Structure 1
Amino acid sequence: MASVTRSSMDQKLAMAKRCSHEGVVAGVKAAAVATVAAAVPTLASVRMLPWAKYNLNPTAQALIISTAAGLAFFVVADKSVLAQARKNSFKEA
Structure 2
Amino acid sequence: MCHVAFGIAEAYWEYRLKPWDMAAGVLIVEEAGGAVSCMDGGKFSVFDRSVLVSNGVLHAKLLERIGPATERLKNKGIDFSLWYKPENYRTDI
Shorter-chain TM range is under 0.3
Rg bigger for which structure?
Answer: 1
Q: TM-score, normalised by structure 1?
A: 0.22
RCO comparison, higher one (Cα < 8 Å, 6+): 1
Normalized per residue, which structure has more strand? Answer: 2
